[in-house]
Amino acid sequence: MTDPTNPQFIRDSNAQALAAHQADYDALGAQLQRLGRDIESVVDAVSRFAVAIPSWGVGTGGTRFARFPGPGEPRNVYEKLEDCAVIQALTRATPAVSLHLPWDRTGDYAQLREVASGLGLAFDAMNSNTFQDQTGQPHSYKFGSITHTDRATREQAIAHNIDCIQAGKQLGSRALTLWVGDGANFPGQHHLTRAFERYLESAKQIYAALPPDWTLLLEHKMYEPAFYASVIQDWGTSLLAAQSLGPQARCLVDLGHHAPNVNIEMIVARLIYAGKLGGFHFNDSKYGDDDLDAGSIEPFRLFLVFDQLVDAQYRRVSSFSPAYMLDQSHNVTDPIESLMSSAIELQRAFAQALLVDREALSQHQHSNDVLLAAQTLKRAFTLDVHPILCEARRRRGGAIDPIHTYRRSGYRAARAQARPAVAGSGSGIV
């Protein structure tokens, strides 16, 4: 194996692609210049774009039916960081990792932080887990966690979230993402209002434990594991909760957590308006799954979400700095490859959104020129910004072609040797 994070290896790999890349880049630069756009400023913005990797994403996921482990899966949080470092070295778009406790629990967070920073990685939002029971846990989450009818169970779930904040403080994280699977499978199973009241009461206690510079990200999800009524099922409930908790609480939009055909870019626009857009879990979905690779099914929708984000920047919306994270489960691909290509899909949507002619769009909107307004967006979406993405990576020491470079390194085969599978490995979601 060649170390895929080795700068010389990346440069050598880039050398083979450089001439073709340069020709494509120059051609796109000339095309954009004719449109009155400067390619350099887009490269610059794209090279500063960052999205956090979910630690659970580097393992192979699974479905309700089975999990098919992949070769060389990381067996603990340190090995997950090794894989994240490969993604970052090749894409230069993923400098931080989002941890999930207790999956990533370790005795010494100061040491973990040091190892991560040696690998060029920092820590993004912490994620708590009260949707599974852990061995030895006194109270079960079968019927809920922070909304449970039983006070002791709620207190246990609250304490776990506070633990996540404590661990996050040592890691340099500044946010806690609160997603709970709590809800009902049958009408009548729980009291729709009282369950929400219990959520608020518990979330208040978690909120009170936040350091002043932290954000509490409230994540909604329409269904699963609760199939009839999730307590925090949509952005309206999430916004209501964030508003009643206070300024440090904001809403997190996981792209996979909506009913099919829901207009997610409108949700984003409304949350921006309310000053409550806290961040994203990027992924894609077709039917009921919430964890397909970003941009793999609906790239236009991803673009329209980024269009709202760029529009907010363009309008200089105050205190606008959403946290970007991926949240995916890879069942049939090499997770490293899926995460690299997903990060790149986000950059693609971002670059396209940056290229929207916002002045023209605004004029067409004012004069009700529907066709030209729609075409203004489509024009940006159909631009092939691939050379911009390659150039942004190359300038930061990343790979012109991350997937090809990764495969050439032989990393996965070497990990398969070095990491024999262990029973009950903490990788992936089942």
Q: Whose Cβ is closer to ligand RM4: residue 413's or residue 430's?
A: 430
Smallest gap from residue 85 Cβ to Mn ion (A): 23
Q: Whose Cβ is closer to Mn ion: residue 182's or residue 254's?
A: 254
Residues 88-147 that bind Mn ion (CB under 5 A): none
Tokens standing for 404?
A: 């090809």
Smallest gap from residue 298 Cβ to ligand RM4 (A): 17
Binding partner at 429 among Mn ion, ligand RM4, none, C-beta below 5 to 8 Å by kind: ligand RM4
Q: Whose Cβ is closer to ligand RM4: residue 104's or residue 265's?
A: 104
Spatial separation of the C-alpha atoms in residues 216 and 82, rounded to whole Å: 28
Smallest gap from residue 148 Cβ to Mn ion (A): 21
- By DSSP bridging, strand 249-254 and strand 183-184 are unpaired
Q: How many CB atoms lie within 10 A of CB 66?
A: 8
CA-closest candidate to residue 211, choices 258, 243, 171: 171
| Amino acid, single-letter form, for residue 109 | Y
Residues 362-401 that bind Mn ion (CB under 5 A): none
393-403: b (≥16 Cβ within 10 Å) or e: bbeeebbbbbb
Q: How many residues at the interface with Mn ion, by CB under 5 A?
A: 4
Spatial separation of the C-alpha atoms in residues 304 and 353, rounded to whole Å: 8
* Main-chain dihedrals φ then ψ at residue 77, nearest 5 degrees: -65, -30
**Residues near ligand RM4 (CB under 6 A):** 100, 127, 179, 219, 221, 254, 281, 290, 327, 429
Q: Among all residues, whose Cβ is closest to ligand RM4?
A: 179
Q: Whose Cβ is closer to ligand RM4: residue 73's or residue 219's?
A: 219
Tokens standing for 94?
A: 């993923």
Smallest gap from residue 393 Cβ to ligand RM4 (A): 27
Instruction: Specify the 3-state DSSP secondary structure of 60.
Output: strand
Per the DSSP assignment, residues forming a β-bridge with 194 are none
Instruction: Specify the 3-state DSSP secondary structure of 139.
Output: coil
Looking at the chain, how many residues does it have? Answer: 430
Binding partner at 127 among Mn ion, ligand RM4, none, C-beta below 5 to 8 Å by kind: ligand RM4
Smallest gap from residue 189 Cβ to ligand RM4 (A): 20
Q: Which residue has the tokens 């040491």?
A: 111
Q: Whose Cβ is closer to Mn ion: residue 28's or residue 277's?
A: 277
Smallest gap from residue 57 Cβ to ligand RM4 (A): 9
Residues 259-318 that bind Mn ion (CB under 5 A): 281, 290
Q: How many CB atoms lie within 10 A of CB 270?
A: 16
Smallest gap from residue 11 Cβ to ligand RM4 (A): 37
Tokens standing for 254?
A: 């996981």
Smallest gap from residue 190 Cβ to Mn ion (A): 21
Q: Whose Cβ is closer to ligand RM4: residue 179's or residue 324's?
A: 179
Burial class of residue 216, CB neighbours in 10 A (0-12, 13-18, 19+): buried
Q: Are the beta carbons of 324 and 51 closer than 8 angstroms?
A: yes
Site string for Mn ion, 321-350 (x = CB under 5 A): ------x-----------------------
| Residue span binding Mn ion (CB under 5 A) among the ranges 17-25, 94-102, 112-120, 250-258 | 250-258
- Contact residue for Mn ion among 82, 182, 254, 311 (CB under 5 A): 254
Name the residues that contact Mn ion, by CB under 5 A.
Answer: 254, 281, 290, 327
